[in-house]
Amino acid sequence: MLAPMVLARRDRAWFLAGLTTVASVAGGLFGYLIGKFLFGTVAEPIIEFYDARSAFERARTWFEIYGVWVVFVAGFTPIPYKIFTISAGLIGMSLVPFMLASLVGRGARFFLVAGLILLGGEALETQLRRHVDAIGWVTVVVLVSGLLWLSG
């Protein structure tokens, strides 16, 4: 939704990216709270509705190993962010690091999209829509490779 809105109102691109970021992080906080306080009654049916049990279990394992980096990567990439927000609450991840990683990850994604649409216009929006998942997965590979390289 962000890309067409930026195309329609280029003068408001950064505002729209910021608004999208804030709304997404607020939704992430809601998912975190569901995981923390309502897993059995609310989160589990959501996971079942999306047929995401295996993704949820994988997310739980990743949290135990990588912590806050999981939230950052999930926030930036096409990985289902909602699964990771619920998982973060369920495992009791600290709220401040969760919120910061969400803000940086989601903000980077939305400001990048807004900037690309500002620069490339309609032609880039069409290409971005067609290749967004591939771009996201390449980004995951680059981020994970960089983290592994930095950690020695």
> Which residue ranges make up each domain of the chain?
2-150
Q: What is the pLDDT along the chain (152 residues), one digit of tens a residue?
A: 887 788 888 899 999 999 999 999 999 999 999 989 987 787 778 888 888 888 878 877 878 888 888 888 888 776 788 888 988 998 888 999 999 999 999 998 899 888 888 887 776 666 666 766 676 677 777 777 776 776 66
Beta-carbon contacts of 126 under 8 Å, excluding residues fewer than 6 positions away, are none
Whether the full predicted model's pTM is greater than 0.95, yes or no, is no
Terminal-residue alpha carbon distance, the chain: 39
Q: Would the CA dihedral through 89, 90, 94, 97 be positive or negative?
A: negative
How far is 9 from 152, CA to CA, in rounded Å? 45
